[in-house]
Amino acid sequence: MAFATHGRSCSRFITSAAFAAAFLYVLLTPIARAQERDLSGKEPELSAEESHRIEELRKQATETLARGDMEQAQREFEQILKALPYDASAERDAARAAEAAGKFEYAAEALEKAHHFSAHERDPELHYLRGEALYTLGRDDEAAREHKIAELEIGPEPKDRMQKLWLARIYARRGYVVLADRLYETMLPPAPQFDSEVALNQADAHLMNKDWEGGVLVLRRYLALDPKNVRGREMMAWALEADGDLDGELAVRRSLVDDQPTPEHQRDYGRALERAASFRAASLEYGHAMDAEAASGSADATLVTSYDRMHFRVTPELSGGGELRSDPQAWAWRLQAGGAVPFGAHHQYGVLAWHDGSYDHRANESVNGANLKESGSVTGLGGYVMFGHRSGASALIGADARFSTISGEDAAGNQLYGPNREFSAGATGELDTPLWNFAQINVRGDLHEQWNDAPVTVHEGGQMSGVTGHLYLFPPSRVVLVDTGVQQRHLTLAPLEPGQPSPASNQTLLWAGVDFNLWTDATRVVRGESLDERMVRRTALNDAGVLAYRHYELWANIPPDFRIALYPRASIDNGSFILRKVVAGGRAGFELRGGLGYDNVQNQVLTQGGAAVVLASSWSTRLLVTYDIVHQTTIGLPGTLQIGWVTFHADL
């Protein structure tokens, strides 16, 4: 009985709800229609002469639109709308012209008004165009709704050519590339005929979904039938660039420059050549693009920057500088000058001359029962040649000759030994190469080179032979960099008297760590690039923040006659942070760095701090000033090391 009563109550409720809904429909439908009529508006009455003028203007605007002058067509349709503000056709065509001209906000708003002015009549093209404009504006949810309406109005099996193109594009926007391909394939004529519109839209369906390989396949098939199509080759170059096929991209971009040497094509070809490390050729292409823009009365600041960067990268570079250093035992100064000359596509040779002088702070070293104050100097001349590859790989071979002196005197100034003079020679080799797109190695070997870690190593006549290897791992974004490696060194000191054996020590250093790029902006960079202090590899400074961690393990055997204090064992955890900032429009920049670590074997804290300032008044000159202070090093030298450096670089 209760169930029956409950059922009758539900029935009465449903009947009442249906009656209320019907009543509201009857009541509100006329109101909605009245609002629609009000929104659509009533066009003003026009004279016959004015009506004729409007029709002529409409005809002219339509011809302008067909001619491809979109901005002028938009203005002409807007003139019609001044006389007929509710003209759906004029509003719609003004929106079409604006969208083709890249005015997507205007187009989205005008298409919505045109839809209202036409009393929301069926119009799949309008919804399709508005959806495209909204996608470009990043309003994806609204765009998807517009495309859904267009899809429903088109139907699943359109017969009209344009409706097939719209529906295929809608599928592509959703990521349904297979469905889009099926529609496009039905529209392609049999070879050797071709349809540019269909083929390029089909390729774009793959490219917008980052299917670079699929897009390239579609474009290759099309360009085999229409090899001179400019838009097809532009899309092909872009797809090959995104897919990492630099050889293919270079060939396509070169064909575009040969056939249509526009500033845009020359600039893009220059960019590809720059990525291929063909800096001289890139400089020429950038120069051609600048000349073409200058002839047309326009100037692109980014293009000028690219030209300057490439031009001074392939010119000779000279440098000169000085350095002051101190450690717990001694202080030292250095003067050096060098030069480097690029040759060929990727190669370079250079020379470096230097003079080091080092002096104990006081008589602080006990030799044969006497406290000595030692001094020494090294004068050297070295050269190298480096062979490079456009992949970024390089191989360096270098050699140098040195003349060194060491001497010692007691606290009273009496010279107890020396000055001992010695000629020596050393050699170095370095291989740097990417392994895959996520790994790179660097291996450096030294034979009888100057040991120059601190002032004390200079006046003790230190020499070093060894091997250092790095393995770098990184994702494509390079937001993280893993660095692991090993260094094995054989360290020797000059004998105090001729004929005596050279004190020697062997040192092994292992490390592993990671760098985190907290932020980086490659567009904010200090003007120009200069070589490092060895005059070998280029350095640049751009906005960045880097947080780093390293773990070090050190072993060394220290014989009793080894006159430099080194730690025989260390196990260090060290964290550091680097802040780089570009100011004054790229004319200056600075770097702040600091770190903190702990040696788990020696039970002591390590600290590091430093700063660098770079001034670049032009693209061809750079002044660099740096200062660093390190308390307890990671390479086994105890105490506090301070280094100040000033150097000037100029490209000729």
DSSP per-residue string spanning 457-505: HHHTT-EEEEEEEEEEE--TT-SEEEEEEEEEEEEE---SSTTSPPPEE
In this prediction, residue 45 carries a pLDDT of 72
Full DSSP string of 314-379: SS-EEEEEEEEEE-SSEEEEEEEEEEEEEETTTEEEEEEEEEEEEEESSS-EEETTEEEEEEEEEE
- According to the per-residue pLDDT averaged within each range, which of 219-233, 292-306, 307-321 is highest? 219-233
- pLDDT at residue number 529: 83
Span 234-243, average pLDDT: 95
CA-based end-to-end distance of the chain? 105
List, for residues 582-639, the tens digit of each pLDDT value: 999 899 999 999 999 999 999 999 999 999 999 998 889 999 999 999 999 999 999 9
The pair of structure tokens assigned to 555 is 């072993």
pLDDT, tens digit (0-9, with 9 covering 90-100), for 494-545: 887 777 889 999 999 999 999 999 999 988 889 878 899 999 998 989 999 9
Judge whether 338 and 350 are in contact, CB under 8 Å: yes
Res 459 pLDDT > 70: yes
| Diameter over CA atoms, the chain | 127
CATH of domain 48-280: 1.25.40.10
- On the question of pLDDT at 8 being above 90, the answer is no
- Does an H or E element contain 259, and which? helix 246-259
What is the pLDDT, as a whole number, of residue 365? 59
Higher pLDDT, 300 or 433: 433
**pLDDT at res. 384:** 97
pTM of the full structure: 0.73
Pair type for strands 347-360 and 365-367: unpaired
Does 128 have pLDDT greater than 90?
yes
109-115 mean pLDDT:
91
Predicted confidence (pLDDT) at residue 40 exceeds the cutoff of 60 = no
- What percent of the chain is predicted at pLDDT more than 90? 65
Can you give the pLDDT at residue 140? Answer: 93
Q: Write the pLDDT tens digit of every residue in 195-214.
A: 999 999 999 999 999 999 99
User: Looking at the domain that runs over 319-651, which CATH code has it been given?
Assistant: 2.40.160.40
Q: Is the pLDDT of residue 324 over 60?
A: yes
- In the predicted model, is pLDDT for residue 81 greater than 50? yes
Do 460 and 563 contact (CB within 8 A), yes or no? yes
Confidence of residue 44 (pLDDT cuts 50, 70, 90): low
Region of poorest pLDDT, from 38-47, 129-138, 265-274, 382-391: 38-47
Give mean pLDDT, residues 219-225. Answer: 96
Residue 10 has pLDDT above 50, yes or no: no
Mean per-residue pLDDT of the chain: 89
399 pLDDT higher than 50: yes
CB atoms within 10 A of CB 402: 21
Q: In the 8-state DSSP scheme, what is residue 245?
A: -
Place 144 in a pLDDT band, splitting at 50, 70 and 90.
Answer: very high
State which H helix or E strand residue 124 sits in.
Answer: helix 124-136
Instruction: Please compute the mean of the pLDDT values over residues 419-447 and round it to a whole number.
Output: 94
Q: What is the pLDDT of residues 267-289, one digit of tens each?
A: 999 999 998 888 889 999 999 99
Question: What's the pLDDT score for residue 300?
Answer: 77
| Residue with the two structure tokens 């788990």 | 600
Query: CA 368 → CA 372, 407, 409, 413, 565, distances in Å?
Result: 10, 15, 12, 16, 17
Q: How far is CA 384 from CA 119, 396, 420, 512, in A?
A: 79, 7, 29, 30
Answer whether 179's CB lies under 8 Å from 169's CB: no
The pLDDT > 70 percentage for the chain reads: 91
**Phi-psi sector, 397: left (phi>0), alpha (psi -120 to 50), beta:** beta
pLDDT tens per residue across span 153-175: 999 889 999 999 999 999 999 99
Q: What is the predicted pLDDT for the residue at 368?
A: 57
Residue 387 has pLDDT above 80, yes or no: yes
Given a cut of 80, whether residue 418 has pLDDT beyond it is no
With a cut of 90, say whether residue 385 has pLDDT above it: yes
pLDDT at position 370:
62
Confirm if 448 and 427 have CB atoms less than 8 A apart: yes
